[in-house]
Amino acid sequence: MGRFHDQMAAAERFGAVEVQRGKRDRGHLIERVRVRDPELLARHLGRPTAPAIAQRVREELLQVAATGEPWVATLLDEMTARWARSEAAYRLTAGQADASKEFFTLLASISRQEAQGLDARTFSQKATNDTKAFDRHASRLAAVLGVRIGQPGAAADVVWAHIGLERFSHPVNLRGPVVVKGAGERLVDGRARPFASIHPEMISQLSVLERPKAVLTIENYASFNRQVREIEDGSLVVYTGGFPSAGVVELLSKVLTSVPDDVPFLHWGDVDAGGVRIFRYLEESLPRGPRPHLMSEELAKQSGHPADADPSLASIAKSDSEIRALAEWLAFGSDVRHMEQEALDPAPTSEFGREG
**Cα separations (Å) of 288 from 10, 94, 177, 206, 282?**
71, 45, 20, 19, 9
* Helix (H), strand (E) at residue 100: helix 97-111
Tens digits of pLDDT across the chain (356 residues): 567 767 767 777 767 777 777 787 776 677 787 877 777 766 766 677 888 899 999 999 999 999 999 999 999 999 999 999 989 999 999 999 999 999 999 999 999 999 987 888 889 999 999 999 999 999 999 999 999 888 888 888 889 888 888 766 789 999 999 999 988 889 999 999 999 999 988 999 999 999 999 999 999 999 999 999 999 999 999 999 888 888 899 999 999 999 999 999 999 999 999 999 999 989 998 999 999 999 999 999 999 999 999 998 999 999 999 999 999 999 999 999 999 999 999 999 986 544 54
Give the pLDDT of residue 230.
Answer: 97
Which sign does the torsion angle of CA 144, 145, 149, 151 carry?
A: negative
Residue (of 237, 265, 238) closest to 322 by Cα position = 265
Domain residue ranges of the chain, discontinuous segments joined by +: 2-44, 51-163, 172-343
Distance (Å, whole) CA 208 – CA 256: 10
The pTM score is: 0.68
Per-residue DSSP letters for 71-93?
Answer: HHHHHHHHHHHHHHTT--BTTB-
Q: The domain 172-343: what is its CATH number?
A: 3.40.1360.10
Distance (Å, whole) CA 46 – CA 232: 79
Residue (of 197, 143, 147) closest to 175 by Cα position = 197
196 forms beta bridges with 174
Report the residue count for the chain. Answer: 356
Rounded-to-10 torsion of CA 209, 290, 300, 240? 60
Give the pLDDT of residue 252.
Answer: 97
Give the pLDDT of residue 119.
Answer: 85
| Residue type at position 314 | A
Q: Parallel, antiparallel, or unpaired for β 178-182 and 206-208?
A: antiparallel
